[in-house]
Structure 1
Amino acid sequence: MKVVILAGGLGTRLGEETGIRPKPMVGIGGHPILWHIMKIYSFYGFNDFVILTGYKSEVIKDYFVNYYLNNSDVTVDLSTNNVEVHNNTSEPWKVTMLYTGRNTLTGGRIKKAQKFIGNEPFMLTYGDGVSNVNIPKLIESHKQSGKLATLTAYQPEGRFGSIDISNNGQVNKFQEKPKEGGAWINAGFFVLQPEIFNYISDDDNAIWEQDPLKNLSKDGELNAYKHDGFWHAMDMLKDKIDLNDMWAQNKAPWKIWKD
């Protein structure tokens, strides 16, 4: 099953950081948050990634094109231009980087990935949020629901949109900006059937969190997997500081893999 990651946004609320790199490339403990997200999926055996790029896409491309050498010990013979690689610590990842436009919105980016995904179920998440969500249990919830889409629902202290979920896991209402706190929010980590592409228009301005998700909910095709563990988005500079502090103190709940 392929893993699609939205990694094309501007991330303006991170200040100077995103003036030189896209938001998913902002670092936590010396690695981009995008790397951390991929490590979560890879821990469960999912290593086929489609990265939907946009703003400063060349930074992401350069990172993965040079990943093998940058994560290995090397000897370079300058007289012959021969490079010998030692002690490679690369990942078992296949990474497709798909440029989806600098200003394309989330729905438009996902729609452009359709030809790379084919007629198979796939996973989708945002390139700025880490979690210790149990991916196999998430997939099982999706299969048992029989619905076209499953999102991971999380209950934070506040500041995000809310989801009204029935006891059987069906999403009854998707609300982007609730007025009350303590509600369930969309934390990404989706499992999706290929039919969801029918809910997204051929428009770069299509927003996944608006008509597509709302119409899936209206049609009874949106399931929620309730996650009561850890989830944290890197939305502002404080979030970056908090995540880096967790990593530095060896208290990063999303680090489910071994070094």
Structure 2
Amino acid sequence: MNKLVLQDNTNIQDAISLLDKNGKGALAVVDLDNQLIGLITDGDIRKAFLNNNFNLNSIINNNPHKMSISSSKSQIVAQLKKIHRRHMPLVNNNNEFEKLYSLDEEEFNLKSNWVVIMAGGLGKRLKELTKDTPKPMLKIGKKPILEHIVEQFISFGFTKFILCVNYKSELIKNHFKNGEEFGVEIVYIEEKTKLGTGGALSLLNMQIKDPFFIINGDILTNINFNDLLNYHNKNNSDATMCIKKDLFQIPYGVVEKSSDNIFLNLVEKPQYTIFFNAGVYILNPETISFIPHNVYFDLPNLFQILNKNQKKCITYEIEDYWIDIGKKEDYLKANEFISSL
């Protein structure tokens, strides 16, 4: 019921009947060979009646936006939001109609916030896996880590990306290009030398007006980025660092003693709760001025500098799925997680 087969005797009543039955507000229009030739919406029908025009061929949009059936949901959603449309016909390589995707439950507003992804790492701990491939381009399932990160942000309406690249950057650039294929905007910062997890921000040559995200290019997480941004704004924060809770167990009996060496107590293999830096941040644009220009600089150091300058720095605990793909066992775990979905 998502398509109208256009024949010599097909009329506007046929279109209205199918639109009424499918309830999606749109129909793909195909020929007898199932070739996509157009799109018709309930809005097109209303306009036709207002103009007293009942010629079906003149009502059909013969040049609709369309995408490949192999496109991911996040890519389709991002493109629909970008062109401010609700419906996207999906076709195969032969232009045969496969499916009509409808953006009924999604918000249309695109976020203005930029997302900076630190994708210049060597991945030395992954050894042979990163010999010919930059770590962010290692595949988790069928897609590179970096593509998973981009799609996660897209799903929350963030479509403006800055990729900071260094090691084998051409592989990243060739995959993502300017982002158009993913329905997003992508610009690149090329690090001529290694600049750590924050130094590349000093090379920004564009004006950023809103709080922006920074995420390491080897992080996979299911965090709700809208919730994180709202938390940052609600707390009037200058810089927000995401943290993750972990339990650390000391494998020995811990002895408590006085300053004059009197035995007080012994706790066998105690557990302590710690919080570690999760490699996801939000910064206000003015914090960039505290980053030294074009030198190696790790982003956690910025929080210490901001604290000394009486800027408000807060933390946000991640309780969702999170993994840092730093070692081979992490890479294998991430693949297991993706394959279980």
TM-score w.r.t. the length of structure 1 is: 0.74
Q: Which has the higher contact order (CA 8 A, sep 6+)?
A: 1
1:144 matched to 2:234:
yes
- Alignment partner of 1:221 out of 304, 312, 322: 312
**Offset of residue 66 of structure 1:** 9.5
- Alignment partner of 1:121 out of 197, 207, 211: 211
Structure 1 CA distance for aligned equivalents of residues 248 and 122 of structure 2 = 23
- Alignment partner of 2:283 out of 177, 186, 192: 192
Name the SS for the 1:116 alignment partner: coil
Q: Highest CA radius of gyration, 1 or 2?
A: 2
Name the SS for the 2:288 alignment partner: helix
Structure 2 CA distance for aligned equivalents of residues 148 and 240 of structure 1 = 33
CA gap 1:98/1:220 in 2 versus in 1, 3 angstroms: closer
Name the SS for the 2:242 alignment partner: strand
CA RMSD of aligned residues (A): 2.1
Alignment of 1:154-173 (within 5 A): 154-157=244-247
* 1:37 equivalent in structure 2: 149
Q: Does the Cα contact within 8 Å between 2:115 and 2:160 map onto a contact in 1?
A: yes
**Offset of residue 11 of structure 1:** 0.9
- Alignment partner of 2:189 out of 98, 121, 139: 98
Structure 2 unmatched ranges of 5 or more: 1-112, 250-270
Structure 2 CA distance for aligned equivalents of residues 235 and 6 of structure 1 = 14
Structure 2 CA distance for aligned equivalents of residues 16 and 220 of structure 1 = 42
Structure 1 CA distance for aligned equivalents of residues 335 and 248 of structure 2 = 21
CA gap 1:205/1:145 in 2 versus in 1, 3 angstroms: same
**Offset of residue 188 of structure 1:** 2.5
Structure 1 CA distance for aligned equivalents of residues 274 and 149 of structure 2 = 24
Deviations 1:53-105 (A, max 9, x none): 0111111011113987xxxxxxxxxxxxxxxxxxxxx4211111221224222
CA gap 1:26/1:182 in 2 versus in 1, 3 angstroms: farther
**Offset of residue 181 of structure 1:** 5.6
| Greater share of strand | 2
Name the SS for the 2:131 alignment partner: helix
Structure 2 CA distance for aligned equivalents of residues 66 and 195 of structure 1 = 26
Q: Does the Cα contact within 8 Å between 1:157 and 1:182 map onto a contact in 2?
A: yes
What residue identity is the alignment partner of 2:338? W
Name the SS for the 2:298 alignment partner: coil
Structure 2 CA distance for aligned equivalents of residues 214 and 26 of structure 1 = 32
* 2:267 equivalent in structure 1: none
CA gap 1:158/1:32 in 2 versus in 1, 3 angstroms: farther
What residue identity is the alignment partner of 2:131? G
Name the SS for the 2:173 alignment partner: helix
CA gap 1:125/1:181 in 2 versus in 1, 3 angstroms: farther
Q: Does the Cα contact within 8 Å between 1:107 and 1:204 map onto a contact in 2?
A: no
Structure 2 CA distance for aligned equivalents of residues 11 and 181 of structure 1 = 30
1:9 matched to 2:100:
no
Deviations 1:18-68 (A, max 9, x none): 111111111100211011111111000001110000111111011113987
Q: Does the Cα contact within 8 Å between 1:55 and 1:102 map onto a contact in 2?
A: no
Q: Does the Cα contact within 8 Å between 1:8 and 1:102 map onto a contact in 2?
A: no
**Offset of residue 240 of structure 1:** 0.5
> Percent identity, aligned pairs only?
29
Name the SS for the 2:125 alignment partner: helix
**Offset of residue 220 of structure 1:** 4.7
**Offset of residue 238 of structure 1:** 0.4
* 2:163 equivalent in structure 1: 51
What residue identity is the alignment partner of 1:44? F
